[in-house]
Amino acid sequence: DHVKDIKRLKDKLTIKMKIHFTRPQIRGARPISEKLFSNKKCLAWFHEYAGPDKVVGPEAMEKFCEDIGVEPENIIMLVIAWHLEAANMGFFTKDEWLRGMTLLQCDCTERLQSKLDYLRNQLNDSVVFKNIYRYAFDFSRDKDQRSLDMDTAKSMLALLLGRTWPLFPVFQQFLEQSKYKGMNKDQWYNVLEFSRTINTDLSNYDEDGACE
């Protein structure tokens, strides 16, 4: 009897497993995430936003943000721009779009929306975050200037470090009171290192070793 019970249980499990594994085929259409990436579709998606100059500009960028459900000032837009290796804030060229979206395997709005959590989670990886932070300097800098103007620097630092660095309000106040008109690349890089290495109570802060 015990053997028969085990056999009956096995049969039940086999039937349940068959039902479970054949269901996706019964449902028909494959989920968006399983469909193959289409270069042609990705290009058509780009042209939904691009102007005659074959560039997605600031106005079209707002529409793009609206479509994917992300505010233009959300840090996710910086992560997307980093993946595209976009050279200028507020603009995506065709080459940037195709290169970045191909790497992300996104050829439509829905597919990019399905990647938003993944993009957000990338900020938790210290190496990836450092790369995005460093990228942000050149991305937001006026290309005829070697430094980042202070207003832009403060805005970008608030975006990147405002929610994760406990000392940011103190640092922001320091910037407000300083006479600096801009921030060069070395200073920009050093702010991140400072935020990562200095204790909240400044107990390990060495003024002599501090960067200018």
More confident residue, 177 or 45: 45
pLDDT at 180: 85
pLDDT at 212: 42
Q: List the beta bridge partners of residue 148.
A: 183
- pTM score: 0.79
pLDDT at 4: 53
Given a cut of 60, whether residue 75 has pLDDT beyond it is: yes
Residue 137 CB partners (closer than 8 Å, separation 6+): 148, 185, 188, 189
Q: Is 165 helix (H, G, I), strand (E, B) or coil?
A: coil
pLDDT at 3: 46
Given a cut of 80, whether residue 147 has pLDDT beyond it is: yes
Separation of first and last alpha carbons in the chain: 83
- The answer to whether 61 and 92 are in contact (CB under 8 A) is yes
Q: What is the mean pLDDT of residues 160-165?
A: 94
What's the token pair of residue 203?
């107990």
Report which DSSP code applies to 57.
Answer: -
What CATH code is assigned to 126-205? 1.10.238.200
Q: What is the mean pLDDT of residues 174-202?
A: 89
| Overall CATH class of domain 35-122 | mainly alpha
CB atoms within 10 A of CB 170: 11
Report which DSSP code applies to 198.
Answer: S
